[in-house]
Amino acid sequence: MKMTYFSTFFFLVVVCVLLLSDASTEDSTQWKLPKGAIARFGKGAIYDVQYFRDGSRFAVASSIGVWIHDAQTGDALDLLAKHKSRIFSIAFTPDGNTLASGDSNGRIFLWDTHTGQHKRTFTEHTKGVTSLAFSPDGETLASVSYDTTVCLWDVKSGELIKTLIGHTGYIHCVTFSPDGKTLASGGGAMDEKLLLWNVHTGELLRTVTEDIDMINSLAYSPDGKMLASGSDDETVRVWDAHTGKLRRTLRGHTWFVQSVAFSNNGQILVSGSADGSIFMWDPQTGELMNALIGHSYKVFSVVYSPDGENLVSVGRDEIHLWSVQTGKSLKILRGYRNFTGPVAYSPDGTQLATGDSDGVYIWDVHSRKHSQTFTSDVTNHRHYKITSVAFAPNAITVVGGNRGRVYLWDARTGLHLKSWRAGNPRTYAKYSPNGSTLAFSSRNNTIFLADFKTGKIKKPLVGRIAEVKVARVEVTSIAYSPDGNLLAGGSSDNTVQIWNTQTGQLVQTLSGHTDHVYSVAFSPEGKTIASSSGINDRTIRLWDPHTGQLLRTITSDTRRIYVLAFSPDGKTLASTYSNATVGLWDPHTGELLKTLAGHTLSVGGIAYSPDGRTLVSSSHDGTVLLWDLTTSVFSE
């Protein structure tokens, strides 16, 4: 097993370029790419972690597959990527020969841990699989799902043994007792119950509803006498595993408790919280023994190594390896992302800027390394997503818009230069073509123009409020014409409004969309403006910006259309969709030319390289894909 992964790792190191993770030496950007893609930035969002039974590696459930890491070095060794959706839960058989992974579409895959080959798929669940557990003898797999069912599977035959009905809402977790006779399942939203089942008969033994909240995690003590649960009410509860009576409640976390686990000797109970804290408790007395400080936000899962000497924990975008004895963080693995939204190329095509919940990230396109991170002390990026990024035409500065503020950084030094208060919860910003002016959206359908050098605000561009009943009319996207004389703004009142940037006069209001306008983009020659709209519209409309005439309407049958971008030669219009794909259109005929499929969640940003040979797409699955547009190898 070790030689198989080592051989793969060594080969990839020799043939690939160093990339991405701050703590890694492998080029994981080249692994298991979709057709037509040439690189991937980011390892996706993370949800769960489990050690291999020999302790040499651990597996991480992510939005794009199961990553395998070396437990000592942290290096990525493999990516199991047969799933086409997010993986919420993973589990190993006691002998370590099989790995199970459950995804957001309700499918469960079984993998051979020696070869990495897919063995079998279970498809009984109709919604996302939230938790998996193997019986102590490894012959039965238990799974729970948002479809309110508990399923028991025969691992060898793949047959469904039983479906246990008792929960009335979402089920978050499931675990076997050490003797394999009892199964515990914990309910989430609209349920809030702890159920104990007889594994052999399927009989419901006990229902616990008192002194309980939404349960996120369950763990039996090694002797089977205690059952611990972590809940949304910030507490850890320790139950008598046989009677279901509450023995004690452990308090100290300040947000949801997402994960609980007993040490191998049962003397320590560890809990991880959405507040970023990891606590180590004495389960007998309830005493807080230690606190592991390192995660800044959201600990999803905490697991003991098989020898009990280390812990591995996954947060929103990083993995920590801990020493149990000292409580110190031994290693931090980065490269995972919870969210990736807007994206922009630098004018010379050598850098990419991406925005997520932490700030603005800068990537080197050629080396494919993460080079800088821009954040601001003025506001907390960890709670508010970056909604807009843009490079200045001279490639020296980069701007990011977030939570009612616009931030400006020097792209060479990382120095925070200045900021403007926009007041709009979702702020969008763009540089003028000559770089002298920065436009950004504000409240009440208004766009401000700021002098880039002085920071002085010029006369605001105020839009008209169309007769559409919406709670608050806001600018949802902005775009300059190539000559900088016009500025277009998409609006939540279903219109596109166009201003003369010299006079500040509103010259056109384009009406026709039947839902919010998500994106606007000018063609390179400035004769056409494209706009996209929401779920009740699902169209791309092409307009003459000077006359306001509607030139063409492109309709998407089932997909919500988000961001638009014209190719540098104007022959192709790219659009992103809620179904995780990118569409390439002929803007003159409305014909769909290609569909780029490879993300697992909606695509929130796209941009063409200056030479038009590459397209970059960023997704809410936490990854950025580079597509080679010079090849014809795409999914249709």
SS (H, E, C) 230-256: EECCCEEEEEECCCCCEEEEEECCCCC
Q: Please give the pLDDT value at position 632.
A: 54
Q: Please give the pLDDT value at position 465.
A: 54
Q: How far is C-alpha 262 from the chain's CA centre?
A: 29
Q: Please give the pLDDT value at position 211.
A: 76
CATH topology of domain 343-628: Methylamine Dehydrogenase; Chain H (2.130.10)
- Average pLDDT of the segment spanning 291-306: 92
pLDDT band for 12, please (50, 70, 90 cuts).
Answer: very low
Question: Tell me: the pLDDT tens digits for 566-575?
Answer: 999 999 999 9
Cβ(31)–Cβ(622) under 8 Å? no
Question: Tell me: the pLDDT tens digits for 509-533?
Answer: 999 999 999 999 999 999 999 999 9
Q: Alpha carbon of 505 to those of 452, 460, 463: distances in Å?
A: 21, 10, 9
Alpha carbons 566 and 606: distance in angstroms, whole number: 10
Average pLDDT, the chain: 88
Q: Please give the pLDDT value at position 380.
A: 45
- Average pLDDT of the segment spanning 64-93: 93
Q: Taking 50 as the threshold, does the pLDDT of residue 450 lie above it? A: yes
Alpha carbons 186 and 599: distance in angstroms, whole number: 31
Q: Taking 90 as the threshold, does the pLDDT of residue 378 lie above it? A: no
- Average pLDDT of the segment spanning 434-444: 87
Q: Please give the pLDDT value at position 230.
A: 96
Question: Tell me: the pLDDT tens digits for 113-146?
Answer: 999 899 999 999 999 999 999 999 999 999 999 9
Q: Which has the minimum average pLDDT: 379-388, 400-409, 482-491?
A: 379-388
Question: Tell me: the pLDDT tens digits for 575-618?
Answer: 998 889 999 999 999 999 999 999 999 998 999 999 999 999 99
Cα dihedral: 200, 202, 204, 208 (round 10): 80
pLDDT band for 507, please (50, 70, 90 cuts).
Answer: very high
What global pTM score does this model have? 0.86
Cβ(193)–Cβ(167) under 8 Å? yes
Q: Taking 50 as the threshold, does the pLDDT of residue 88 lie above it? A: yes
Question: Tell me: the pLDDT tens digits for 149-200?
Answer: 999 999 999 999 999 999 999 999 999 999 999 999 999 888 889 999 999 9
Alpha carbons 300 and 130: distance in angstroms, whole number: 12
Q: Please give the pLDDT value at position 606.
A: 95
- Average pLDDT of the segment spanning 429-451: 89
H/E run at residue 12: helix 2-15
The domains of the chain are located at 343-628
Q: Which amino acid is at 6?
A: F
Q: Which has the minimum average pLDDT: 37-41, 138-142, 176-180, 367-371?
A: 367-371
Alpha carbons 26 and 318: distance in angstroms, whole number: 17
Cβ(483)–Cβ(511) under 8 Å? no
Q: Which amino acid is at 597?
A: A
pLDDT band for 8, please (50, 70, 90 cuts).
Answer: very low
Alpha carbons 23 and 319: distance in angstroms, whole number: 11
Q: Facing residues of 132 across strands?
A: 143
Cβ(59)–Cβ(66) under 8 Å? yes
- % the chain with pLDDT above 90: 66
Token pair 């990382």 is found at: 414
Q: Please give the pLDDT value at position 264.
A: 93
Q: Taking 90 as the threshold, does the pLDDT of residue 220 lie above it? A: yes
> Which residues 6+ apart lie within 8 Å of 70 measured at CB?
56, 57, 77
Q: Please give the pLDDT value at position 559.
A: 72
Tell which wins on pLDDT, 205 or 210. 205
Cβ(25)–Cβ(278) under 8 Å? no
Q: Please give the pLDDT value at position 29.
A: 85
> Which residues 6+ apart lie within 8 Å of 469 measured at CB?
none
Cβ(589)–Cβ(324) under 8 Å? no
Q: Which amino acid is at 586?
A: D
